[in-house]
Amino acid sequence: MRFNIYVKNRVAVVGAGLTLFRRRLLETPQEMVWIASKKALEQANMDFRDIDCVISGSAPDTFDGVHMKGEYYSEGAGSYGKLHFRVFVGGGTGVFVPVAGWWMVASGLCKKALIVAEEKMSSAADPHPQAVFRHIWDPLIEKPLNPNLIWIFALEMHRYMHKCGVSKEDIALVAVKNKANALDNPIAQAAAKITVEDVLKSEPLVYPVNRLDISPVSDGAGALVMVSEDVARRYTDTPIWVEGVGFALDTTSWTNRELAFPVYVKTAAEMAYRMAGIENPMKQIDVAEPYDPFDYKELHHMEGLGLAPRCKAAELTKGGVTQRDGDLPINPSGGLLGVGNPIAAAGLMKVAEIFWQLRGEAGKRQVRKPVYTGLAQAWGDLMQIGTVIILRR
Amino acid sequence: MNRVAIIGMGYSGFYAPSPDLSFREMIFKAAQKAYEDAGNINPRRDVDAFISCQEDFWEGIAIANEFMPEQLGGVLKPGFTVSGDSLQCFLNAYAMIRTGQFSVIVIESHGKPSEINTLDSIVMFSYDPLYIRPIDPKNIYFLNAIEARAFMEKEGISREVLGHYVINSLKRGLKNPRASYSRTKSLKSYLDEEFVVEPLSESDIAPLTDAAVVAVVASEEIAKKLTDTPIWIDSIWTTSGTSTVAYEDLSFDYAAREAGNKVFEASNIRNPRREIDALEIDERFSYIPLMVLKALNISSNIKEDIHSNIFEVDGEILLNPFGGALSEGNPLEAHGIARVLIAYEQLKGLKRIKGSKDPERILIHSRRWPFPRTTTIALLSR
Amino acid sequence: MGRSDANRYSNHFKEVIKLSSYLFGGTPLKEEDFKKLVREIMKPKARYSVSAGQAYSRFFEGLKQGKIYGTYCEECGMVYVPPKIYCPFCFKQLDKWIDVKDEGKVISAVVSYYSATLEKLEKPEIIGVIKLDVPGKHFTSYRFPGILHRLCNVSPEEVINQSIFDARVKARWKPPEERIGDINDIECFEVLRG
């Protein structure tokens, strides 16, 4: 069932590239973007000259230390003299950039677009990149309480644990799985073989969040090449089509709603499913990369996306369903927990992973079952935005 | 392919500091007016997506996108932020509607420079950290001064020509109720002004203003149902500048040329001077419209054209007929949509000039302020 | 930088920089190398005077008087604390104010061991989201008037064993002469025992 038959220019992803994700990279933002773009273009058998549009995304300017940083880092993608704009929806940016790229190509305005996402968190070095998050709060109602960003996650995690009867052990299984998955990911920063006990014994930052529950601070960049249908088959014989996009933005009043369930992720997912003609996501999505900056977030988002019944995502994890050889592999890349979290680039990494999985090019990370439809999802702002993209072979 | 039209606009502000209203309240008021203008639409039911154009550092909030949806009626609906001039929001809305998946989109942009206490420091923060900031200039507009000087020397334009443009533009602004900074000024008083940073004096630089503007954009099908006078967006393009200014030939506005060419090509325009009726050009620095006229090939001899009043009210092509940013003020990223607002009013016949025929096609241009030179150009018609 | 400085600089980092970073996808740095290579370019001054607007101004006035004000929407019945002047769900202007009780129940709570700038706290802080009571109105746990604030007279154990959930709490206000019209006019919310 196709919701809208007027999308004449179908859009395909034909190449993807990522830099290493590390706590500190030597490269400047432009250089990181260049590395990722070059890799993506090489996979697509294209050159910078072939690109007519660059759509980019990056999270808070405060990290890189440059205001109006759109023009600053996108130079590395060859944006000078070409169409370029930067979108920014907080943590949801990584999956949102290809969504914006999708409509630029589907509308006929662009034929071959380079989609880039970059984050250089190490520049905000003093005292620590986390301090930048002091400024996302409502300046009058929340900031005077001197909040620590991890408060919100902890409050949400604890509410989820209480409402759904999920224990810290269940949640820690996600960190264990993702970090183990990341061992097969060449760009991963935080890959490791750990146990549930390691997670529970790691330093408590804001109970119930321990250090190993959180993804690390990173530098990194990612790029995709998106082209229109008529052009796609010149460059590859397995274009991966963008079948659905969805995004939804809730209020900033996160203290006024049920934290145990991300309604905005569900809304965004519904929009994408409708576009892609998906009626039963649990059966029709073969592989998914939901956003996992914290381990409980994977479970939280799985339920929001409809990939698990409410409060039951932990059971799927315990049963091994979400492993790479399971029925619904989740975060085969290693997710943010294993690979790293350069905010915008992390979301794009997930889209790149789905792209490679659908083409069978994920190497050791390739999931066991045959995959045709994949989903990537990101989330951000002040617990507000859900962004979803569905790709299909 | 679907045509795209602006069916409603509303604004709040455009006078000097407005401390009694927070920016959220300003946006709400502008949105209400825009929805009413668009045929009394209900954003909860009738709108498919919401786009905001803002930059974190102008807002003082890391992730300014957070605060966007509530005052537009966009809660739990698709919404996002573009970090750039508000004309780029129109570009996105245009593309989204042409995919056929979206029919009605709301665009919002606002600027509240009165709330920024350390504007100089923030502008410096937008400059390249390795090559430009260490220069540590005494005046943050030094790049614009270099650009102005390069352009003026290349084209043989003196301050007198610049002054001629400035005083005429300020005078034209007197017809615009939103232009709080418009005034009559003599050429002598302009030439007598002290330099802020040579060759720019105080009247060359637009003062700052607070404003919030909201627009409703719709597909052809919906537009025709909701209004008798949809204002079509015929074509729109943006060309990126660069933060590494040393790469550029500052005497020529390359971005305006590129964006202009794309727009003219898409709309089949071969002779812009004859086929376009009016221009709304970014004049946050007085030399920019002159550069753009040259880059768009609308004027081959700037000095002559400015002196012969070709761009004046009874001339061949109008240039900022109701004054531009020099008279209205500079609302930061809301500048582009402010230009669209005045063009919209002209095309709908809400703002008319005695003795001048009503324009049918208006070209909108906006850059980033103060640098890089990223340019967005749109062509509106009725 | 003189020529000799430049040479020393680049010689040191020849070991660090493995060229063809493109092939490897980037050049990771250890913290010591990072500190040597990177120096502070600029500390930007970014100061803003944010106007409270009509809604927040009244709310802060109320806090000064020891009251919590909210606005409510007649159409959907929602009460907003902190107050809004428009209902985001009905997109209607709100001008009805209501006295919200400074009492409510705990929706979620956590124990913070670190400050906002990631310094270890001497004494862990307990933070919670409190769903506030509104006389005569009832809200589900899906959408409700609620605020973020500190919880006092609560031990970390009560948070960890989840007994704090749904506990009834009441605001402990600062003495009237110390209130300035700020969210910190409420010192914290304390659990009603007994």
- In this structure, chain B runs to a length of 382
Same domain, C183 and C112: yes
Query: pTM here?
Result: 0.92
From the CA atom positions of chain A, what is the Rg in Å? Answer: 19
Structural domain range at position C153:
53-191
Are A225 and A14 in contact by the 8 Å Cβ rule? The answer is: yes
- Domain boundaries, given as residue ranges, for chain A: 11-123+216-392
- φ, ψ dihedrals at B26, nearest 5°: -65, -40
Helix or strand (DSSP H, E) at A115: strand A112-120
Q: What average pLDDT does this structure show over A323-338?
A: 94
pLDDT at A227 (0 to 100): 95
Q: Residue C184: inside a domain, yes or no?
A: yes
pLDDT at C2: 43
pLDDT at residue A34 greater than cutoff 80: yes
CA B33, B38, B40, B41 torsion: positive or negative?
negative
Residue A361 has a pLDDT of 93
Q: Which residues of A touch B55 (CB under 8 A)?
A: 61, 67-68
Residue of B nearest to C50 (CA): B115
Q: How confident is the model over A124-145, as a mean pLDDT?
A: 72
Q: Give dist(CA A208, CA C134) in Å, integer.
A: 30
* C47 in any annotated domain: no
Residues of B in contact with A90 (CB under 8 A): 63, 65-66
Domain A11-123+216-392 sits in CATH at 3.40.47.10
My answer on whether omega of the bond before A329 falls inside 30° of 0, hence cis, is no
Of residues B19, B42, B129, nearest to C51 (C-beta) = B19
Domain shared by C67 and C149, yes or no:
yes
pLDDT value of position C48: 74
Upstream peptide bond of B372 is cis (omega within 30 degrees of 0): yes
Q: Which residues of chain B are within 8 Å of residue C47 when distances are taken between CB atoms?
A: 116-118
For chain B, the straight-line distance linking the first and the last C-alpha, in angstroms and rounded, comes to 18
Does any CB of chain B come closer than 8 Å to the CB of residue C85?
yes
**Which of B67, B70, B210 to mutate to probe the C interface, most C CBs <10 Å?**
B70
Mean pLDDT of A212-218: 90
Whether ipTM tops 0.85, in short, is: yes
Residues of B in contact with C55 (CB under 8 A): 25
Q: How far apart are CA B82 and CA B105, in angstroms?
A: 14
Subunits next to C (3 or more Cβ pairs <8 Å) are A, B
Tell whether C89 and C18 lie within a shared domain.
Answer: no
* C77 and C162 co-located in one domain: yes
**CA distance readout (Å), C60 to A301, A347, C53, C54, C82:** 36, 39, 11, 10, 10
Measured in angstroms, the CA of A141 and the nearest CA of chain C are apart by 6
Query: Do C58 and C108 belong together in one domain?
Result: yes
Q: What is the pLDDT of residue C1?
A: 40
What does the pLDDT read at residue A182?
94
Contact A70 B100 (CB under 8 A): no
Q: Does C116 contact B at CB distance below 8 Å?
A: no
Could you tell me which residues come within 8 angstroms of residue C105 by beta carbon, excluding any fewer than 6 positions away?
C130, C131, C166, C167, C168, C169
For residues C101 and C26, state if they share a domain: no
The answer as to whether C78 is a domain residue is yes
Q: Which residues pair with B278 in a beta bridge?
A: B318, B362
Residue C43 maps to a domain: no
On chain C, the residues whose CB falls within 8 A of the CB of A138 are 82
Closest-CA distance, C145 to chain A, in angstroms, reads: 5
What is the reported pLDDT for A267?
94
Domains identified in chain C, total number:
2
**In this model, does residue A326 exceed pLDDT 70?**
yes
Alpha carbon A382 to its chain's center: 16
Q: Is the pLDDT of residue A268 over 60?
A: yes
Assigned token pair, B121: 């420091």
Q: C167 lies in a domain?
A: yes
- The candidate with the shortest Cα–Cα distance to A36, out of B247, C24, C28, is C24
**10-residue mean pLDDT series, chain B (382 residues):** 90 74 82 93 93 82 69 90 93 93 94 85 86 87 94 92 92 90 92 92 92 95 92 95 88 94 94 91 94 91 82 80 92 94 93 83 94 93 92
Per-residue pLDDT of chain C (194 residues; tens, 9 = 90+): 444 555 555 555 554 554 555 666 788 888 788 777 777 767 777 777 766 667 778 888 899 999 999 998 988 889 998 888 788 888 888 888 999 999 999 999 999 998 877 788 888 899 999 999 998 888 888 889 998 999 988 999 999 999 999 999 999 999 999 888 888 999 999 998 86
Residues C107 and C180 in one domain: yes
Instruction: Give chain B's domains with CATH numbers.
Output: 4-117+208-226 (3.40.47.10)
d(CA A144, CA C66): 18
Q: Which of residues 345-364 of A touch C (CB under 8 A)?
A: none
Dihedral of CA C53/C55/C58/C64: which sign? Answer: negative
What is the spatial distance between Cα C13 and Cα C1, in angstroms, rounded to a whole number?
16
pLDDT for position B19: 62
pLDDT of residue C18: 47
Q: Which two tokens stand for residue A1?
A: 């069932």
Residues C116 and C59 placed together within one structural domain of the fold = yes
Q: How many CB pairs under 8 A join B and C?
A: 73
Chain A residues with beta carbon closer than 8 angstroms to that of C127: 145, 147, 151, 155, 206
Mutation target vs B (from C37, C50, C51; most B CBs, 10 A cutoff) = C51
